[in-house]
Every structure is written in structure tokens, then in C-alpha cells.
Amino acid sequence: MRRFDDEDLTGAEFRECDLSRARMVGVVMQDAEIDGLVTNLVVNGVEVMPYVEAELDRRHPVRLLIRSDEPADLREAWRQLRNDWATTTERVRSMPENSEHHGVDGEWSMVETLRHLVFVHDSWFRRCALGITEPFTAMGLGPPSVMDQEENGLDQSVRPGLDDVLAVRIRQASEIETWLAEVTPDQLAQTAPVPDDDRWPPYAKERSVRQCLGTVLDEEWAHHGFCTRDLDRMSRQESSQGS
């Protein structure tokens, strides 16, 4: 276990770090941000995550639909997620040229975010939920810290434009919509037909079809939030530079 005593970590950034069971005692934490998979977080003796989750549900009711096991709710969740992305796409088109390729604070740009969701669709929906063994779409972006991109057929050298990625996204969305229109609760509860090989994701076996679809929906919601957050930051920067 690493221990930090009387260290000045002002401005420190922890990216893709596992901080499970971390203890922070006598710390000063002001203007801090935490984004990630956070559970059982106790602040000054209070478990705060139930409050955080309830507030997120209040702000984003689509989260309740995403967690449902009813096909009708899942269809509505997908419709709302697609509408949110359509609104954000129109927004970025109205921003200064190449805003869709601009990242903020080391985060993915909007185009890179959409490329990641192309990969999520191929891996968690086509491969895990449907059992399809076809290669992943080359323009997709996987999590670079935990997987070999080239071994999974991803081409990091490609530089697609927004319309190029959206064309793939439209095709993928139609695939999910067609499937959701007919899927039943029994089908959702079945064990996912994950192909028996060592391709990504390595930890999907024994999950249900519903859980694999849930990963797709969760990723769509979370990354839309990251994208709008960064577009907001870009807009604020532009406003401050223009004033």
C-alpha cells in the first residue's frame, strides 16, 4: 500500500487509477472533481453515494429507463439517448470550426467519443448480446489503457470526420432499434452468447443479454454527459476570450 503523508497534491490528476479502499484523513479538498465508478464513498462519516445517485436520477430520468428490464422502457431509453446525441450534434455544428475535434483537459474530443461508442456497439451489442464474430469497425476506439487496439482490428491511424462517424452510428442505431422492437423479457434474461475466444471484452462471459445491453446504454449516457460537459467548457473559454 502506498502512503502519502503531508504531501501537497494540489492540482494532481489521477487518470484510470484504482483508488479502492483509499483513506483520506485530515485532508483539504476544495474545488475537486471525481468522475468514475464510485461506490460506498464515505465523506466525514456519511455514505454519500445514495444521495449522488438519487440526484443523478432526478436530473436524468432516462437513467431509470436504462435500469429497467422491460423492453418498452429500454426502447424509450434508446430513443431519448439518440435524441440527446442529435441535439448535441447540432450544437457542435454551430460552434467554431473543428470544435468536434477539440479535446478539453486531455479528454476525448466529440468525434473520438463517438468513435468509442462505435466500438462499444461492436463489442457489447454485436459481439456479446448477438454473438456475432465479425471484426470490429476499424474506426472504433477502445479503452487504450486495458486493451491492444490493433489486435482487435482497430486502426488508430484513421482520422474520420464527424459525418463519417455519424454514418456508422446511424447504421448501428438502426440495428439496435430493429432488435429492441422484437426482443422479449425472456430473451433479455438469457445468458449472453459471447463467442468463445479471447477478444474484447474478456469479462463478458456468464453475463445476461440484458447486462450487455445495459453496458451499451450506460456508455451512451455517460459519454454524452462527458461530451456536453466539455462543450460547455469550450463555450465558456470562447466567451471569456471574446469579452
Grid coordinates of 68: 429497467
Grid coordinates of 190: 438469457
Q: What is the pLDDT along the chain (243 residues), one digit of tens a residue?
A: 778 887 887 888 888 788 888 888 888 888 888 888 888 999 999 999 999 999 999 999 999 999 999 999 999 999 999 999 999 999 999 999 999 999 998 899 999 999 999 999 999 999 999 999 998 999 999 887 666 767 777 888 899 999 999 999 999 999 999 999 999 999 999 999 999 887 788 788 889 999 999 999 999 999 999 999 999 999 998 777 765
CA distance 44 to 41: 10
CA distance 138 to 131: 19
CA distance 207 to 215: 11
| CA-derived radius of gyration, the chain | 20
Helices 162-180 and 71-93 meet at what angle, rounded to 10?
170
Q: How many CB atoms lie within 10 A of CB 138?
A: 13
pTM of the model: 0.90
Grid coordinates of 212: 450487455
User: Domains in the chain, ordered, with CATH?
Assistant: 70-242 (1.20.120.450)
42 bridge partner residues? 47
CA distance 175 to 130: 11
Helices (H) and strands (E) in the chain, counts: 7, 2
**Residue 2, exposed/middle/buried by CB under 10 A (0-12, 13-18, 19+)?**
exposed
Q: Which residue has the cell 435524441?
A: 83
CA 24 to chain centre: 28
State residue 161's pLDDT score.
Answer: 97
CA distance 221 to 223: 6
Grid coordinates of 199: 477478444
- Cα end-to-end span (Å), the chain: 48
